Amino acid sequence: MILIDGEPGDSIPVTDSAVVRGDGCFEGIRVYESVPFAVGLHLDRLARSAKLLDLELPDRSLLESWVETVARADPDSAIRILLTRGGSVPGATEGGRCIVFSHPVGDHPSSLRLGTVSAPWHAAGRKWDLMGAKTLSYAPNMAASRTATASGFDDAILLSDDGIILELPTSSLAWVVDGVVETPELGLGILESITRGIVLSELRSHGYQVVEGRWTVDRLATAQECLVMSSVREIVPVTAVDSLRFQPGPLTERVVDWYSALTRSDHE
């Protein structure tokens, strides 16, 4: 199902900013048995992105109703919410749009092999106006994924110019060193992942030490486990980073179980 400003539709003008400039923001939400998971957190982040981009956001109650309508129509799916600026070429006067649509989750590997890729476009700790916004402009990230897959990996780990671990193109990363969970800090300009936040909170509530900081990729040579977190992929163990090898470990297995329980409890 596709809703454009709350009405069924399947097209937008080619003059829209989303097409011409990639000027807009978005959210991706998993749906379990017609219930969008952590929808409030996602809509909060969408509002933050819209504010940073100076985009008009529909009323919160309208957004919630549109998401619920699409979720009921496609009960096991992913939902995308796109905000655009509207016409972005001379003579195009149409206003911005809010597009809500569902799509299949698709098949995902049960583990991931990751290759490191330099990301000179990433803020990597430098302050800038759109720091933290989930924008539509993902072309550099997608190119990094293609670079990694061309080298035989499943996806990329983005690194700063000085080798600091950042994030995956569409996911967050964490690893375990001697029982301590480590993950790149938000101050690096990585996306404030909803799944990452839920997992870190759950780990802390179970008594695990969680450290958010800055490490070079050499740090992973000391790790016993490594895992990826995202709304669509959920929690996936990492079995390789470049030449390093990992085995899915007990902490990752616990996180998978916890997250699965949380998604079930959201609709039970």
Average the pLDDT over each of 64-68, 124-128, 190-194 and give the range with the smallest value.
124-128
Over residues 165-193, the mean pLDDT reads: 97
In angstroms, the CA 209 to CA 217 distance is 21
Regarding whether 133 and 219 lie in a shared domain, the answer is: yes
Q: Are residues 68 and 132 in the same domain?
A: no
Whether residues 117 and 95 share a domain: the answer is no
Instruction: Inform me whether the pLDDT recorded for 108 exceeds 90.
Output: no
**Statement: the pTM of the whole predicted model exceeds 0.85:** yes
Residue 268, domain member (yes or no):
no
Q: Do 242 and 140 fall into the same domain?
A: yes
Residue 162, burial from CB neighbour count under 10 angstroms (0-12, 13-18, 19+):
exposed
- Over 60: is that where the pLDDT of 24 sits? yes
268 pLDDT above the threshold of 60 = no
6 with 91, same domain? yes
Q: Which residue has the tokens 């061309």?
A: 150
For the cut 90, the answer to whether the pLDDT of residue 22 exceeds it is yes
Q: Tell me the residue ranges of DSSP E strands in the chain.
A: 2-4, 7-8, 24-32, 35-36, 77-84, 98-103, 112-118, 155-159, 172-177, 180-184, 210-213, 225-230, 234-241, 244-245
Domain boundary (103, 133, 148) is at 103
Helix (H) or strand (E) holding 147: helix 139-150
- Poorest-pLDDT segment among 3-7, 39-43, 122-126, 170-174: 122-126
Domain boundary among 60, 81, 103: 103
Res 243 pLDDT > 70: yes
Last residue of a domain, one of 81, 103, 125: 103
Mean pLDDT of the region 68-85: 97
**Same domain membership, residue 96 and residue 15:** yes
Q: Which residues share a beta bridge with 165?
A: 159
Residue 244 lies in domain: 112-263
Q: Are residues 256 and 140 in the same domain?
A: yes
